[in-house]
Amino acid sequence: MDNAALRDRIAETRLVAIIRGTDVDQTVQAALTLIGAGVTTLEITLTLAEAEQAIAQVVQDAPAGALIGAGTVLSESDVDRSMTAGAQFIVTPTLTASVAYAVRSGIGVLPGVFTPTEVQQGMDSGVAAVKLFPAASLGPGFLRAVRDPFPDARIIPVGGVGLEAIPSYLAAGAFGVGIGGPLVGDAAQPGGDLKALAVRAAAFVAATAAGVR
C-alpha cells in the first residue's frame, strides 16, 4: 500500500492499533481479535522476536480489508524484511533512514516526530501522515497549536493516548490516533486476556467513531 492509499485508509478508520508483543502466537491471536472487534488497521512491532513470522501469519489469516503494518522499523533492511513478510505499511519512532527508503520503495509510512520542525520535515517527505510520539508528554493543546501554522498536516498522536483522551485529540485536529498499551494491554503476552481485549477494542472503535462525527 502506497502513501496515498494509506492516507485514505486512516482518514476512514482514524484508529491504528499497536501490538508490541513478546510471543508470536499470542501476538497473532491478539491481532485477529482486534480485527474481529473492528480495529482493522494495526501494526506489529519489530521488537518482537520473529516479528516477520507474526506479520506473515496475520496477513494470511486476516479477512479482506484488514491492513497489517510493521512498527519500530529503524533501517532500510527492516523495511525490506517487513515487506517480505507481507507488511502493507511501516511505522517508525523517528525520522530514520527507513522513512525515505520506504517512500522510494512505494510502501506507506508513518514516521515518528516530536517537534514542529520534524512535523514539517515528515510531511515534506511525502508520507501518509506523521506520528506525534510520545504524545502524552505534549497533549492535545500542543497538537492544536502545531496545526495553526500547519493546518494541512496529518498528525497521529501515539504514546499514552487512553480511551478518555481520544475526543480531545480528535477535536484538536488529530488525523487519527495510535493506541498501544491502553488498548492491547496484556493480550499479546503469554496468557493474555483476549476476551478483555475484544471489549476494549469495541470501546476504542466507538470512541474514535464518535469523535469524528
Instruction: List, by residue number, the catalytic residues.
Output: 43, 131
Q: Among 46, 38, 34, 108, which residue's Cα sits nearest to residue 71?
A: 46
Report residue 92: phi and psi, to 5°.
-125, 155
Cell 519489530 belongs to residue: 46
The C-alpha atoms of residue 124 and residue 199 are separated, in whole angstroms, by: 38
The C-alpha atoms of residue 193 and residue 166 are separated, in whole angstroms, by: 23
List the alpha helices (DSSP H) in the chain. 3-13, 24-36, 51-61, 76-85, 97-105, 116-124, 139-147, 166-171, 181-184, 194-211
Q: Rounded to the nearest 10 degrees, how much is the dihedral formed by the CA atoms of 44, 20, 18, 39?
A: 80
